[in-house]
Amino acid sequence: MTDLDHAMMRRALELAARGLYTTTPNPRVGCVVVRDGKVVGEGWHEKAGGPHAEVAALENVPEGATLYVTLEPCSHHGRTPPCVDLIREKKIKRVVAAMLDPNPEASDGGRQLAAAGIAFQHGLMEDEARELNIGFVSRVTRGRPWVRMKIAATLDGRTALADGRSQWITGASARRDGHHWRARACAVLTGVGTIATDDPQLTVREVETPRQPLRVIVDSRLETPPQARILRGEKVLVFAAREGVLPNAEVVCLRNEHNKVDLPKMLQELARRGVNELHVEAGPRLNASLLREGCVDEFLVYQNMSFLGDAAQGMFQLDPGSLDARVKVALVSAQQLGDDVRLLLRPVSPLR
């Protein structure tokens, strides 16, 4: 691959990121078309049901161009026609994709292009493309969303006072950044304990967003107060361990053998509803349950430069029993935000 190839794919990824808040349940895709070293077309997928990135990029392009796209062009009829047909029609000479489509229904595009005599390559900046669509990849390959758990804590890992008060452990910059992550998620989840203590809205407010994520509550015994702020506005999805009704909410009963919400089945149900990324903002009990049941893919930890001490609440209600059984994580990235540090972490070993 040449320097031009890398530059054009980098641009395609920038375009794809413009759909960060809007494409769900579809992937975020960007496309650049080049002829004789010059960009002759650009596009990105803006929302489900709208034109794919290739359609906008190929509107007025000469024959014999090279197309750079962050995801293998689709070959199936969905809400829109197959992009491979348009690429053939426009007489594109070469297609470079960052990654192959993980969706089995749409993963034949490269082969079809090659069969039509169009040079097809993939793998350029694949890691970056996969990170941009990590939730979509999770949903179509694992049948569950990518679960990102957000935690605000002190240096000694405390998330609230003993009585549950936690507003605010982190500063304004960290809170605003947290709303960016809320906005990119398809759904935001909390537990009834957090509702009782903080009465959150779980809406995106600190940053501009074209849509609000679905709000989800885990409430085994349907104890969410009818006057809770989260029940206002758009309809809420509640997972419970018994049948029942809450105002402005759809209640789904998924009970496990312990008369609690079956969390793995909950993830499957969210995936069925098109949720790619699930953003968790819960308390130590639900955090621990999700972790114990293998339902956490990533930790978004905002760490404040302070201490609260042993009487305060921790991140998880866990007792692994030995040091060998502790949850080990790998650092993906770190960034200072005012007086806080944002850590993006992924488990490298499950809780045993």
Q: What is the CATH number of the domain that holds 162?
A: 3.40.430.10
146-154, strands of its sheet edge to edge:
249-253, 236-240, 214-218, 187-191, 277-280, 146-154, 298-304, 340-347, 329-337
pLDDT of 311: 72
The pLDDT profile of the chain, 352 residues, written as one tens digit per residue, is 899 999 999 999 999 999 999 999 999 999 999 999 999 999 999 998 889 999 999 998 999 999 999 999 988 766 667 899 999 999 999 999 999 999 877 778 999 999 999 999 999 999 999 999 999 999 999 999 999 999 999 888 888 777 777 778 899 999 999 999 999 999 999 999 999 988 999 999 988 898 999 999 999 999 999 999 999 999 999 999 999 999 999 999 999 999 999 999 999 999 999 999 999 999 999 999 999 999 999 999 999 998 878 877 777 777 776 777 778 899 999 999 999 999 999 999 765 5
pLDDT of 4: 96
Q: Supply the CATH number for residue 95's domain.
A: 3.40.140.10
Catalytic residue among 14, 42, 46, 54: 54
pLDDT of 321: 67
Q: Which residue, of 89, 106, 132, is where some domain finishes?
A: 132
Q: Which residue, of 105, 132, 159, is where some domain finishes?
A: 132
Tell me, yes or no, whether 95 and 195 share the same domain: no
pTM of this prediction? 0.92
Tell me, yes or no, whether 18 and 89 share the same domain: yes
In the chain, how many domains are there? 2
Q: Is residue 182 part of a domain?
A: yes
Neighbours of 146 (CB within 10 A): 23
With beta carbons less than 8 A apart as the criterion, state whether 272 and 252 touch. Answer: no
pLDDT of 351: 59
Tell me, yes or no, whether 102 and 158 share the same domain: no
Catalytic annotation present for 223: no
Range of the domain at 95: 3-132
CA dist., res. 71 & res. 281, Å (int): 31
Q: Which residue, of 103, 132, 161, is where some domain finishes?
A: 132
pLDDT of 307: 86
Residue 296 phi, psi dihedral angles, 5° rounding: -120, 125
- The pair of three-digit structure tokens given for residue 352, joined into one six-digit string: 């045993």
Tell me, yes or no, whether 162 and 191 share the same domain: yes
